[in-house]
Structure 1
Amino acid sequence: MQLQRIHHVAIIATDYERSKEFYTEVLGLRVIAEHYRAERRSYKLDLALPDGGQLELFSFPSPPPRPSRPEAAGLRHLAFAVADVEAALAELRGRGVAVEEIRVDEYTGKRFAFFADPDDLPIELYEV
């Protein structure tokens, strides 16, 4: 087996329309497909990432809460590469998104910062 790249990341939203707007309008991801699955009372939205990867956004009735603190067991955070973290944060602030201060990776010297999606999922912007 030879892994090539991450194909997709799946996220379950508590408010599908609010999260759909966040990922498409605020983050600018392009919709590939959207399906309503009546038997599950669930939406599945496929979003394109610039590198060919995908983000899948799901809705389910009454999903159980999950801790989102960065040190909770499980997926720690979602990270996107950006050319200029400061410019990206300014754009997010302009769209009303609260962002954390820029930090510097102690091992690589690269700049990064965090913000959260509508369900408080931590998202990182990492300068490459």
Structure 2
Amino acid sequence: MKLEKIHHVAIICSDYEKSKKFYTEVLGLQIVQEVFREERNSYKLDLAIGDHYQVELFSFPESPARPSYPEACGLRHLAFAVQSVEEAVAELKEKGITVEAIRMDELTNKKFVFFADPDGLPIELYEI
């Protein structure tokens, strides 16, 4: 098997409208398609990141809570590449988002920072 690239990342949120606003207005992802699936009582929102990747935002009634901190077993975090961590942090803070202190990757000497989505999903911004 030869994997070509990441096709998408799927996120289940607890408050669809709140998460939709966060991913589109705070992070600036572009809406590709929004569908309400009546048989599942669920929204599916496809969001574009540049020209290559997609985030699928789902709402499901009564989804169970999941531990969501960087050192929990399972998916560790969602990371986005940015040109400037400082500029991204300033923009997030202007939008009222709590952001951790900027750190330095000891192996690459690149800056990175963590913050959380409305459900506490850890999100990383990594400077390229």
Q: Same fold (TM over 0.5)?
A: yes
After superposition, residues 1-128 of structure 1 pair within 5 angstroms as: 1-128=1-128
Q: 2-side partners of 1:105 and 1:64: how far apart?
A: 33
Partner deviation per Cα, 1:61-111 (whole Å, 9 max, x = no partner) = 010000012111110000000000000000000001000010001111110
- Per the alignment, in what secondary structure is the counterpart of residue 124 of structure 1? strand
Q: 2-side partners of 1:68 and 1:74: how far apart?
A: 9
TM value normalised by structure 2: 0.98
What amino acid maps onto 1:78 in structure 2? L
Q: 1-side partners of 2:27 and 2:80: how far apart?
A: 11
Structure 2 gap ranges (5+)? none
What amino acid maps onto 1:112 in structure 2? F
Fraction of identical pairs, as percent: 67
What amino acid maps onto 2:71 in structure 1? E
TM value normalised by structure 1: 0.98
Q: Structure 1 residue runs of 4+, over 4 Å off?
A: none
Shift of residue 51 of structure 1? 3.9
- Is contact 2:79–2:125 with CA below 8 Å preserved after alignment? yes
Q: 2-side partners of 1:14 and 1:48: how far apart?
A: 21
Structure 1 gap ranges (5+)? none
Count matched residues.
128
- Per the alignment, in what secondary structure is the counterpart of residue 70 of structure 2? coil
- Is contact 2:36–2:43 with CA below 8 Å preserved after alignment? yes
Give RMSD over aligned pairs.
0.7
